[in-house]
Amino acid sequence: MERLIVKGGSSLKGRTRISGAKNAALPMLAATLLTGGEFTFTNVPMLHDVTTLVMLLKDLGVDADLSPGSSSCVLRIDSSSLSKYEASYELVRQMRASILVLGPLMAREGQARVSLPGGCAIGARPIDFHLKGLELMGAKLKLEEGYVEAKAARLNGAHIYFDVPSVTGTENLMMAAVTARGKTTLENAAREPEVTALGNMLRKMGAKIKGLGTETISIEGVRYLNPTECDIIPDRIEAGTFMMAVAAAGGKVLIEDVIPGHLDAVISKLRVAGLHLDVDNDRILVKKRGKLKSIDIKTLPYPGFPTDLQAQMMAIMCLASGLSVITETIFENRFMHVAELRRLGAEIKVEGRSAIIRGVKGLKGAQVMATDLRASACLVLAGLAAKGPTIISGLQHLDRGYEAMDKKLAALGANISRVNE
């Protein structure tokens, strides 16, 4: 079993480059199913979730070739040979985002059979919005043997309202709508930059989409789409995590290849906490001077504070002066890291959807278990701030969504190593 050993006490120094965004890459790769032809993606992060989706695409008959570039990967996909419309339990079980093949398969094939993703460590995470949206577009749905089976000769445009903005829900229905007959309006749609990145790719393919980045997205169905070339946008969650790593370990780091505009809420909150941030076009210089101040955080859909940075923020608030309250409004069970942080000496009380954190003088290393992707990053950050070794297991979560996080931190001077025992 692989584990990370993090020894706190070394401050971070130097520069680090942010990888392509996992949550942009996944829907964009799924969008290759919409039409046959050769697609090229650059700045593709080498992550377990990306290889899982590539495996799923290959299982559907698509050709894919992932080759490492100088600092990122180039992925070529030829979707001409699509021969199946079923996403198996085996693959969907490994990654919930596999549900993203449902919309494009319906658009191209008029049928899809996709295993229902189960619950996950951070909550029940239903997909009812995806399914209701497809039904409104005229698809007939059946749930059988744990699979959703959808059929429609051709989808029709529809007016679809999301009770709460859903990222993959918006993406799936946007992909379903691009070749539907007539106009689709998505109300209370997700405004995340990754949704906009997918929309921009679909537009390059010939789709007619308006309102990207707003809560009303309208799509006029077209008959044909073309394959295209795309560069994956930088991962704002990785960038936020590295900013918080400096907050945890201390030091001065230049974060490169980032879109600061995607991180407005995070930058603003970190500044209030006392972290020094110099923001340039595509770089952020992060400096930590002195102890951080406690702050309150509430996770919200974009442009609010992202739930995917909640756990990491909690790690640094454990050492801030005073009381912080972190309220999680997106997922009902996203405090699994609290028990692990307590093992390092953190003082945290959970009341409903809020965690109340009393800053302590110091954390002390211990053995901990990563329970989900962002919880694993939270534990790495806590380890950077703790005295003595923190031994983290459950690394499969970290590797799902962070490209070489341990190597990038080690290059900045962190005392971190991966051992296989």
**Interface with ligand UD1 (CB under 6 A), residue from 7, 13, 84, 125:** 125
**How open is the CA angle 409-415-418, to the nearest 5 degrees?**
80
Cβ–Cβ under 8 Å, residues 150 and 186 = no
Does the protein bind ligand UD1 through residue 64 (CB under 6 A)? no
Cβ–Cβ under 8 Å, residues 376 and 395 = yes
**Interface with ligand UD1 (CB under 6 A), residue from 108, 113, 130, 236:** 130
Strands 354-358, 347-351: pairing is: antiparallel
How many residues are listed for the chain in this entry? Answer: 421
Strands 111-115, 86-87: pairing is: parallel
Can you tell me the distance from the alpha carbon of 250 to that of 206, in angstroms, rounded to the nearest whole number?
47
Segment contacting ligand UD1 by CB under 6 A, of 73-81, 135-143, 166-174, 313-321: 166-174
Per the residue annotation, which of 120, 230, 318, 378 is the catalytic one? 120
Using CA atoms, how far residue 401 sits from 18, 124, 125, 417, in Å, is 12, 20, 18, 18
Segment contacting ligand UD1 by CB under 6 A, of 37-45, 56-64, 161-169, 378-386: 161-169
Enter the tokens of residue 162: 């999301």
Segment contacting ligand UD1 by CB under 6 A, of 59-67, 159-167, 240-248, 266-274: 159-167
**Interface with ligand UD1 (CB under 6 A), residue from 331, 340, 381, 398:** 331
Does the protein bind ligand UD1 through residue 128 (CB under 6 A)? yes
SS3 187: strand
Can you tell me the distance from the alpha carbon of 260 to that of 276, in angstroms, rounded to the nearest whole number?
14
**Interface with ligand UD1 (CB under 6 A), residue from 164, 272, 411, 419:** 164
Q: Which is nearer to ligand UD1, 52 or 79 (CB)?
A: 52
133-153 exposure pattern, b = at least 16 Cβ within 10 A, e = fewer: bbebbbbeeeeeeebbbbbbe
Does the protein bind ligand UD1 through residue 239 (CB under 6 A)? no
**Interface with ligand UD1 (CB under 6 A), residue from 26, 53, 139, 273:** 26
Segment contacting ligand UD1 by CB under 6 A, of 80-88, 165-173, 240-248, 405-413: 165-173
Cβ–Cβ under 8 Å, residues 374 and 305 = no
Catalytic, 73? Answer no
Does the protein bind ligand UD1 through residue 242 (CB under 6 A)? no
**Interface with ligand UD1 (CB under 6 A), residue from 52, 79, 166, 241:** 166
- Number of residues interacting with ligand UD1: please give it, by CB under 6 A: 20
Does the protein bind ligand UD1 through residue 241 (CB under 6 A)? no
Does the protein bind ligand UD1 through residue 41 (CB under 6 A)? no
Q: Which is nearer to ligand UD1, 311 or 416 (CB)?
A: 311
Does the protein bind ligand UD1 through residue 169 (CB under 6 A)? yes
**Sign of the alpha-carbon torsion through 191, 195, 200, 203:** negative
Backbone angles phi, psi at 11, to 5 degrees: -80, 160
Q: Which of residues 177-216 bind ligand UD1 (CB under 6 A)?
A: 190, 194
Instruction: Give the residue numbers marked as catalytic.
Output: 120
Q: Applying CB under 6 A, which residues contact ligand UD1? A: 23, 26, 97, 125-130, 164, 166-169, 190, 194, 307-308, 330-331
